[in-house]
């Protein structure tokens, strides 16, 4: 990873995308360790985590994680999941956070030197290009070691650095448990299982 100690950093984490990448690599993310890793790489200004939540449910499986992140150095951006019926009559849910993430990146680009996007979504290529035109460096964290790869080729090419998630595993993996079956560890404050909607999120 190419970082400079004097750089101001901001992290932008697409929660569903990062969860899918870690699950594909069969490990759970410890968000406390992740924050500590990047805090050592430069001057960490902000870490934002984006996720859609089911607000109509009495208890959302994501709530413990969202609460923990809120209290432990992350800014959490949420919006309600939307339910719809697809063309085959199946109930689906949608919780895309791309617009929210993109707006925040553009706004914060003026205040930092290096933006780190945790997503392999090719739709972010133009966003990366726009930020680079402002003279900022952009790193993308995702993986090409799953089948199919989570990181779009056009996004990897556009980024200044591509950071393979599997290579971060020794530094950010939750200890104990070989597979990703939740949305990450949060300092030993219990687990919350990932809702099925992420398999259907667009």
Q: Which domain holds residue 75?
A: 8-85+95-194
Q: What is the distance between the alpha carbons of residues 19 and 95, in angstroms, rounded to a whole number?
A: 14
pLDDT of residue 199: 33
Domain-embedded: residue 200: no
Helix (H, G, I), strand (E, B) or coil at 187: coil
CATH of the domain at 18: 3.40.50.1010
Specify the long-range contacts of residues 91-94, CB closer than 8 Å, at least 24 apart: 92/200, 93/54, 93/197, 93/200, 93/201, 94/52, 94/200, 94/201, 94/202
What's the number of domains the chain is made of? 1
> pLDDT tens, 76-126?
999 888 777 888 888 777 778 999 999 999 999 999 999 999 999 999 999
Q: What are phi and psi of 60, to 5 degrees?
A: -90, 135
Domain-embedded: residue 171: yes
- CA 2 to chain centroid, in Å, comes to 19
> pLDDT tens, 133-191?
999 999 999 999 999 999 999 999 999 999 999 999 999 999 875 444 444 445 433 33
CA distances from 120 to 18, 26, 59, 73 (A): 8, 17, 29, 24
Domain-embedded: residue 3: no
Domain-embedded: residue 1: no
Q: How far apart are the first and last CA of the chain?
A: 29
């Amino acid at each position: 990873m190419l970082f400079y100690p004097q750089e101001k950093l901001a992290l932008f984490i697409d929660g569903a995308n990062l969860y899918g990448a870690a699950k594909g690599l069969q490990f759970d993310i410890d968000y406390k360790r992740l924050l500590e890793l990047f805090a050592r790489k430069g001057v960490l200004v902000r870490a934002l985590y984006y996720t859609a939540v089911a607000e109509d449910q009495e208890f959302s499986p994501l709530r413990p994680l969202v609460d923990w992140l809120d209290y432990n150095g992350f800014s959490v951006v949420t919006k309600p999941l939307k339910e719809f019926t697809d063309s085959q009559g199946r109930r689906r849910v949608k919780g895309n956070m791309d617009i929210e993430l993109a707006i925040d990146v553009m706004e914060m680009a003026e205040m930092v030197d290096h933006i780190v996007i945790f997503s392999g979504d090719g739709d972010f290529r133009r966003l990366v290009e726009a930020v680079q035109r402002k003279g900022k460096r952009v790193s993308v964290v995702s993986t090409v070691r799953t089948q199919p790869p989570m990181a779009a080729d056009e996004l990897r090419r556009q980024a200044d650095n591509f950071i393979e998630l599997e290579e971060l595993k020794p530094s950010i993996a939750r200890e104990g448990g070989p597979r990703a079956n939740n949305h990450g560890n949060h300092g030993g404050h219990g687990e919350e299982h990932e809702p099925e909607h992420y398999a259907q999120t667009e």
